[in-house]
Structure 1
Amino acid sequence: MNITMLGTGNAMVTECYNTCFVLEDGDKHLLVDGGGGNTLLRQLKQAGFDWKDMREIFVTHKHVDHLMGIIWMIRMICQNMKQGQYEGDAWIYGHDEVISLLKDFAEKLYPAKQTCFIGDRLHLVVVNDGEERELMGHKTTFFDIQSTKAKQYGFCMDMGNGEKLTCCGDEPYNECEKKYAENSKWLLHEAFCLYDQADIFHPYEKHHSTAKDASELAEKLGVQNLILYHTEDKNIVRRKELYTEEGKKYFSGNLYVPEDLEKIEL
């Protein structure tokens, strides 16, 4: 399996794209979130993906920097279905608020000759807290991260051989996620900024954490590999160096601070 980070920044970045990524296992793909617009399509192309291969999509929550790129995916899928240039079906998963918004946006923005494929070949699927589904051929459990801002789900994917990959969304770890995150081979966690720059970026006021916080957490949970994302972009030139340097003080496993379009073998 591989992960390709299409975007690594928080909502307000301009020097990189908003956080979203593709999990890849052979010829199967899972797109997680879409960033804030149709730059998603460029990022997929730049990463060497055919957007038509994104047959399974999961949207964590309704914030614009995660949702709006998916609106473009819906347009591309439905338009190409209408033109006879898209074979088979596609599935978009999310909690009830996400799916309701996506359906509402599509029906208001796109013509009926395209949206007629929603529910027929483009399946908008509501998932619930603790629900298991098979994505990319792997058992995947969705869970509510108990956000105090907007309802948000993370997921835990069974990688096989008792190993798991856990995505905590874009907010700090909550104890309700322990059974999923603990002892994960891979943990995906946000790091809004460096700890020594918290007075500049105010992560805690925005319900986010720092590279130090996320690294301490991963160490406590017995994680093997930690991927940090959803960062500020003022340090973009030295971000990998600075965040890695801070995180390695508190985490003894393998620490990754990827750039946009970077691929990591899982």
Structure 2
Amino acid sequence: MTEIIDGNAVAQSIRDDLATAIDQLAEEGVQPSLATVLMSDDPASETYVSMKQDDCAEVGIEAIDIEIDPDADASELYDAIDDLNGDENVNGILVQMPVPDHVSDREVLRAVDPVKDVDGFHPENVGRLVAGNARYKPCTPHGVQKLIEAAGVETEGADAVVVGRSDIVGKPMANLLVQKAPGGNATTTVCHSRTKDLAAKTRQADILVAAAGVPEMIDGGMIKEGATVIDVGINRVDADTEKGYELVGDVEFDSAKEKAGAITPVPGGVGPMTRAMLLYNTVKAAGLQHGVDVDLP
């Protein structure tokens, strides 16, 4: 019988386990803090930021909310980031993407102090990840690692296929899976829009991570019997519902679950883990910045 991997439950377990580390920080007079910076009037971005702040409140992380008019000059955003970089009471900085077109997202990522870059996207942190000495693992790929672990799936020696090569998920996910470390040691293939005969590649995967952003592009016929399938995609498609749409993943769930040994649903799979690992990185950042050796889950 196929195991449905419950991302909500695993994320809650991580939030619960972070209490130990937060207590250790409190004993040293440290309260971890996360600053979220929003330069957008996009409802989805506003919702994401609100959810992250709620998560912080749940576990005892101070949430600092910075909102900037999306029509403001880019310098206003950079000035805000500089202020947060210099504030010793701020441990983590998250700039909600996307930023307006007149702002360079790459420059924004470079502007954040890498020690406070709890997204793990600063070039210095990307380099450390590739070198096998990650300061902060990017939240979504790290969350995927935790889901695979929670399902009791061994990555060492496994054939893993990552569909998607984004800087946010695909590339760091592949790097984590090939690392000579727990949760790694897999033989990893990265597939993308130029891959020939994608189905032939995905059918070889013991572990399949779908992160291409294409609704239901992978169906049961593209999956190896008994494989572990992690669906990172969150796509809004038209549907005959009250809202007029529904959320689906990059995997066609109904057919895929007939083949997979374990699979994540959408929603309720990877999404909650991304937010949980942001809290994880924020607590880790507080420990690093204040010289407190915290026990992380």
Superposition TM-score tier, normalisation by shorter sequence: 0.3 to 0.5
Which has more radius of gyration?
Answer: 2
Query: As a proportion of its length, which structure holds more strand?
Result: 1
The one of the two structures with greater contact order (alpha-carbon pairs below 8 A, sep at least 6) is 2
Query: As a proportion of its length, which structure holds more helix?
Result: 2
